[in-house]
Amino acid sequence: MIVHEKQDNPDTANRLDGMKQGVLGTAMSRIDGLAKVTGTALYAAEYSADNCAEGVLATATITRGVVNAIDKKAALALPGVIAVIDDPRLTTRAAQGTADEAPQQDPARVCYWGQPIALVVAETFEQARHAAKHLVVDYGEEVDAPVDPEAVKPEEQTEETVSQGDLDAAMSAAAHAVDVTFTTKGHASAAMEPHAAIASWNGDDLTVHASLQMLNYNITELADALGIPEQRIRLIARYVGGGFGSKLGISEEVVAAAIAAQEIGRPVRVVMTRQHVFQAIMRRSESTQRLRLCVDAAGKLTGFGHHALVSNLPGEEFAEPVLQSSHFLYAGANRELKLELARIHRMTAGSVRAPGEAVGMPALECAMDMLAEAAGIDPVKLRLMNIPEKDPEKGLPFSSHTLADCLTQAAKAFGWDHGLRKPRQTRKGEWWIGTGMASAARVHNVMEAKARVTLKADGTAVVETDMTDIGTGTYTIAAQIVGEMLGLAPDRVLVDLGDSRHPRGPGSGGSWGAPSIGSALYVACKAIREELAKRLDIDEPDLALRNGATSSGTQLTELLRGEDLARVGHYEPGAISEDFTASGFGAFFAQVRVNAFTGETRVDRMLGAFGFGRVLNRKTARSQCLGGITWSIGTALTEALEFDPRDGHLVNGDLAEYHVPVNRDVPDLDVILVEERDAAASPIQAKGIGELGMCGGAAAIGNAIYNASGARVLDFPMTPDRVIAAMPD
Q: Which residues are catalytic?
A: 691
Residue closest to ligand MOS, measured at CB: 245
Binding-site size, ligand MOS (CB under 6 A): 11
Does 516 bind ligand MOS (CB under 6 A)? Our answer is: no
Residue whose CB is less far from ligand MOS, 240 or 293: 240
- What's 160's DSSP letter? G
Supply angle C-alpha 580, 612, 470, rounded to 5: 115
- Residue 221 or 369 having the CB closest to ligand MOS: 221
Measured CA to CA, the distance from residue 518 to residue 484 in angstroms comes to 12
Interface characters, 167-206, with ligand MOS (x: CB under 6 A): ----------------------------------------
The number of beta carbons lying within 10 Å of the beta carbon of residue 418 is: 10
Minimum distance, C-beta of residue 36 to ligand MOS, in the bound complex (Å)? 19
CA gap 683, 696 in Å, rounded: 28
Q: Is 16 exposed, middle or buried (0-12, 13-18, 19+ CB in 10 A)?
A: buried
Query: Which residues have C-beta within 8 Å of that of residue 558, sequence separation ≥ 6?
Result: none
x-or-dash string of contact with ligand MOS, 300-339, rule CB under 6 A: ----------------------------------------
Q: Is 560 in the site for ligand MOS (CB under 6 A)?
A: no
- Spatial distance between the Cα atoms of 666 and 679, rounded to a whole number of angstroms: 35
> Collapsing DSSP states into helix, strand and coil, what is residue 88?
helix
Q: Does 249 bind ligand MOS (CB under 6 A)?
A: no
Taking the least distance from each CB to ligand MOS, the nearer of 90 and 191 is 191
Among residues 148, 160, 147, which one has the least CA distance to residue 340?
A: 160
CB atoms within 10 A of CB 390: 15
Identify the sign of the CA torsion 385, 390, 394, 395. negative
Bridge partners of residue 398, in order along the sequence: 581
Collapsing DSSP to helix, strand or coil, 119 comes out as: strand
User: Binding residue for ligand MOS (CB under 6 A) from 510, 515, 573, 683?
Assistant: 510
The DSSP line for 656-710 is: TTS----GGG---EEEEE-----TTT-TT-B---TTGGGSSHHHHHHHHHHHHHS
Dihedral sign, Cα of residue 56, residue 61, residue 62, residue 68: negative
> x/- contact string, 341-380, with ligand MOS (CB under 6 A)?
----------xxx-x-------------------------
CB of 218 to ligand MOS, least distance (A): 13
CB of 414 to ligand MOS, least distance (A): 28
Q: Does 685 bind ligand MOS (CB under 6 A)?
A: no
When the beta carbons of 248 and 363 are compared against ligand MOS, the nearer one is 248
For residues 530 to 549, the per-residue mask of contacts with ligand MOS, x marking binding by CB under 6 A and - elsewhere, is --------------------
Nearest distance, CB of residue 558 and ligand MOS, angstroms? 44
Pure H helices in 115-214: 125-132, 167-173
The mark string for 209-248 relative to ligand MOS (x by CB under 6 A, - otherwise) is ----x-----------------------------xxx--x
- To ligand MOS, the closest distance from the beta carbon of 574 in angstroms equals 22
**In the complex, least distance from residue 62 CB atom to ligand MOS, rounded to whole angstroms:** 29
- The binding site for ligand MOS (CB under 6 A) comprises 213, 243-245, 248, 351-353, 355, 509-510
